[in-house]
Amino acid sequence: MGKSYHMDLESFRSNGYKAIDWIVDYLNSVEDYPVLSEVSPGQIRSVLPENPPQDGETFDVMLKDVSDLILPGITHWQSPNFFAYFPANNSPPSILGELISSGLGVQGMSWITSPSCTELETHVMDWLVHMLGLPNKFSSISRGGGVIQHSASDATLCALLAARERVGDKSVNEHGTNTQLIAYASTQAHSSMEKSCMISGIGRDQLRLINVDEKFSMDAHSLESQIIEDKKKGLTPFFICACVGTTSSLAIDPIEALADIAQKYNLWLHVDAAMAGTAAICPEFRFINHGVEKADSYTFNPHKWMFTNFDCNAFFVSDRSALTNALSVLPEYLKNKATTEDDVIDYRDWQIPLGRRFRALKLWFVIRHYGIKGLQHHIRKHVEMAQKFKQWIVESDNFELAVDTELNLICFAHKNGDELSERILEQVNSTGKVYLTHTKLKEKFAIRMSIGQTNTEMKHIEKAWSLLRRKANEGNF
C-alpha cells in the first residue's frame, strides 16, 4: 500500500492535545503580548516561504511557526486589556464547541443534511428568545423564528431583502423592481446598512440618514417628516433600521416610536442590537429593547459580547414566510421528502449562501456551561466596571464624557481638545499595554473604552485609567 499522506487518527489525537495545550498557554500568557500588533504591512508575508511545500510537514513544525511567525501579527482580541472597537470575546466552552463542530464536519444547508444541526439551532434560538426576554413572535412556536447567520451585516441584508420582497408583493425576485424603494436609518447606523442597500439594488441614494438627538438616538419626528416627504414625491418607503447600541457611542434608537411610524406607513422595522443586545440577558437592562415586540426583525451577535467565538449572529423574524419568500430556491438536486412535504426548517432558505456551519453547537455549550446566571454575572460585571470608569471620567479634572452611556462603552475626550485626545490615544496604544479606538461625535474626537473581554477585571480597568492619566499629564504642555 502506498503512502496515504493523511494524518492518522492517533497522530491527530496527540497533535490535538498539543493544540489545546498551545491555546491554554496562549490564553495564560496573552497579557504578555502588545495588545495591538506592532508589525508593519507586509512583514508577516515576508517571513513566509514563497512557495507551498512539495512534501508535507509535521504538526510540530506548523505549531512552532504559529508561535514564531503568526503570533507577532496577532492583535490580541482575547487580551483582558483589549478595549478597542467592541468585544469579540470567546470562552473555553465555545472553543470546544467549535472544535467538535469541525470534527463533525457537517454542512447543514437542509434539515436532511444533518437534522441535529437544524433542530439544535432552532432550539437554542428559542432559548435566546427566552433568555433575552424577546417577544414570543420571534420563537419557532409562532409564525416567526430565529436563525444563526454569519454576521449582523448578513442579518440586516436578509431583513432588507425580505422587506423588499414583501413590499413588492412577492414579485421583485421574479421581475426585479423599477419602484424607488426608500430605506431609513439614523446618521449613526452601522455601515452594514449602507452596504445592504448597495448589494440589494436599493442603492445608496435611496438610504435616508435621519438626524439624531443629543444622545445620538434617531429623531422619530424627523423620520416621519422624511417618510411623508418621500411619499409625496411618489417614492415607496419600505424599511427602517433601528439601532440598539450604535457602534460609535452605544446610542439607542426609540424602537417603540419608530415601530408606530413603521406600522402607520407599512414599513418593515429591523432592529440591529449587534453588540448591546447581549445585555438583555439581565432583566434590568431590557429597557434597551423597549418596543421590540412591534419589530419585524431583530438581530444581535453572540460573537461580540456573549463569550461565543466569531462567527455567530442571532437573527429573528416575526414572520418566517417573509424571509423564505425572499430567499428560497429549490433546485432538483436538493429536493427530499422532508423538504417537499414541508415538515422541516431548511435554514438555507433563511440566509444568502447555501452552505452553513454547525454553529449552534458552540452556542449550546456556552449557554449550558455558564447557565443564565453565569452569563448575567459577567454582563453585570462588565457594565459595573464601565460605569465605574465613567465615574472616574466625570470626576476627572482633565477628561470629560463625550456622551453619557449606561452599559459597557464609555466615550470621552480630553478637555483641551481633539489634538490632545488624539495624541493621548496614540501614546497609550503605543505602550502595547492596552488598545483603545476612537470615534467622532458631533465632529469632535472621542476615545472609546469598550469593556467586554472575557477575562477583564477591575485591575485592568485601573491600569488603563492610570495610563490614560499619565499620558494626559505628560502630553499636556
Q: Which residues bind ligand PLP (CB under 6 A)?
A: 86, 151-153, 190, 192, 243, 246-247, 272, 274-275, 301, 313
* Least distance (Å) between residue 420 CB and ligand PLP: 27
Whether 475 and 423 have beta carbons less than 8 Å apart is answered as: yes
Helices 320-327 and 152-167, packing angle to 10 deg: 90
For residue 137, give every residue at least 6 positions away whose Cβ sits within 8 Å of its Cβ, in sequence order, or none.
143, 144, 293, 318
* CB nearer to ligand PLP: pick between 244 and 467: 244
* CB nearer to ligand PLP: pick between 301 and 324: 301
* CB nearer to ligand PLP: pick between 150 and 414: 150
* Least distance (Å) between residue 250 CB and ligand PLP: 9
Contacts from 40-43 at CB under 8 Å and sequence distance 24+?
A: 43/72, 43/73
* CB nearer to ligand PLP: pick between 86 and 412: 86
* Least distance (Å) between residue 190 CB and ligand PLP: 3
- Which three-class secondary structure state does DSSP give residue 210? strand
Report the C-alpha gap between 130 and 375 in whole angstroms.
Answer: 14
- Which three-class secondary structure state does DSSP give residue 208? strand
Would you say the C-alpha torsion 385, 387, 390, 395 has a positive or negative sign?
A: negative
For residue 433, give every residue at least 6 positions away whose Cβ sits within 8 Å of its Cβ, in sequence order, or none.
34, 35, 81, 463, 464, 467
* CB nearer to ligand PLP: pick between 93 and 452: 452
* CB nearer to ligand PLP: pick between 139 and 313: 313
* Least distance (Å) between residue 427 CB and ligand PLP: 25
* Least distance (Å) between residue 92 CB and ligand PLP: 22
* Least distance (Å) between residue 86 CB and ligand PLP: 6
- Which three-class secondary structure state does DSSP give residue 207? strand
Q: Tell how far CA 62 is from the center of its chain.
A: 31
Report the C-alpha gap between 185 and 217 in whole angstroms.
Answer: 10
* CB nearer to ligand PLP: pick between 243 and 420: 243
Nearest CA to 220 among 188, 254, 243?
254
Give 439-465 as a DSSP string.
Answer: EEETTEEEEEEE---TT--HHHHHHHH
Phi, psi angle pair for 186, to nearest 5°: -80, 165
* Least distance (Å) between residue 303 CB and ligand PLP: 7
* Least distance (Å) between residue 246 CB and ligand PLP: 6
* CB nearer to ligand PLP: pick between 273 and 472: 273
Report the C-alpha gap between 329 and 323 in whole angstroms.
Answer: 12
The Cβ of residue 476 has, within 10 Å, a number of other Cβ atoms equal to 13
Nearest CA to 183 among 297, 200, 315?
200
* Least distance (Å) between residue 95 CB and ligand PLP: 19
Phi, psi angle pair for 304, to nearest 5°: -105, -65
Whether 89 and 454 have beta carbons less than 8 Å apart is answered as: yes
* CB nearer to ligand PLP: pick between 451 and 467: 451
* CB nearer to ligand PLP: pick between 190 and 382: 190
* Least distance (Å) between residue 247 CB and ligand PLP: 3
